[in-house]
Homo-oligomer: A and B are copies of this chain.
Amino acid sequence: MSELPISRFSLPELQDLPEDIRQRIEAVQEKSGFVPNVFLVLARRPDEFRAFFAHHDALMDKQSGLTKAEREMIVVATSSANACQYCVVAHGAILRIRAKNPLLADQVAVNYLKADITPRQKAMLDFAMQVALDSATVESEDIEALAEHGFSEEDIWDVGAIAAFFAMSNRMANLSGMRPNAEFYSMGR
C-alpha cells in the first residue's frame, strides 16, 4: 500500500527544498519515526508551508487554557464533519496519545455527542462545530454560553481559531487527496 500516491499534486524532491523546510521535515522524522504526509504534500509551496505550520504551532503547541487533548478533540470533531480522511486519522492518533485514551478519538469522530467527555468539553465542541459548519450564525450569546462553562476570552478565541484553522487544513487535504500515513491508524490504541 506504500506505493499509493499521497497527493494529486506533484511532490518536490526533498533535496530541492529550502533548507529550513528540509530541516523541519527531518526534525519531525526524527521525533516521530516517519514523515507525516502533510509535510511532503505542502512542501511544494514553501511560503505557504511556512505560514501553515507557523499558524498550526501557534494554536496547537503553546500553553493555553485548553489542554492539548481538548485541542485535538476540536480537530477530530470538525475534521470528521468535513470528511477529511487525513486529519481524522492523523489527529485521531494524536488525540489518543494526548488523552491517553484509546477509545476517545473514534467516539469523537463518529458522534461527539456520544463521546466520553465532560459537559464543559461538549459545550466546547458544540461551539467549535458551529464555527466549522455555520459560522455566520455565531452571536454574542454563543460566546457568553461558553464563558458560563468557565472558558476565558482567550480560551474561546482558541476554540474558534482552531476550528477555523482546520477548516482550511481539511480543505487543503481534500483538495490534494492527502493520504494519511499507515502508521497513524494504530498509534495510541
Give the interface of A toward B (CB within 8 A): 1, 4, 8-10, 44-45, 47-48, 50-52, 54-55, 58-59, 80, 82-85, 88-89, 92, 102-103, 106-107, 109-111, 113-114, 116, 131-132, 135-140, 143, 153, 157, 160-161, 163-165, 167-172, 174-177, 179, 182, 185-186, 189
Contact = CB atoms under 8 A, between A and B. Distances in A.
Contacts of A168: 164-165, 167-168
A55 to B, nearest CB: 4
Chain A contact residues, majority secondary structure: helix
Given A55-B55, A80-B110, A116 B4 contact: yes
A59 B85 CA distance: 25
Contacts of A82: 135-136
A30 to B, nearest CB: 24
In the A-B complex, the 9 residue pairs with the smallest Cβ-Cβ separation, listed nearest first, are A83-B136, A51-B55, A164-B171, A135-B174, A168-B168, A160-B175, A47-B58, A83-B111, A51-B54
A56 B9 CA distance: 21
Contact of A109 (B58, B110, B171): B110
Contacts of A1: 103, 116
B132 A110 contact: no
Nearest to A157: B9
Nearest to A178: B114
Contacts of A107: 85, 89
A48 B45 CA distance: 19
Contacts of A167: 164, 167-168, 171
B138 A175 contact: yes
Given A106-B185, A182-B103, A185-B189, A171 B131 contact: yes
A47 to B, nearest CB: 4
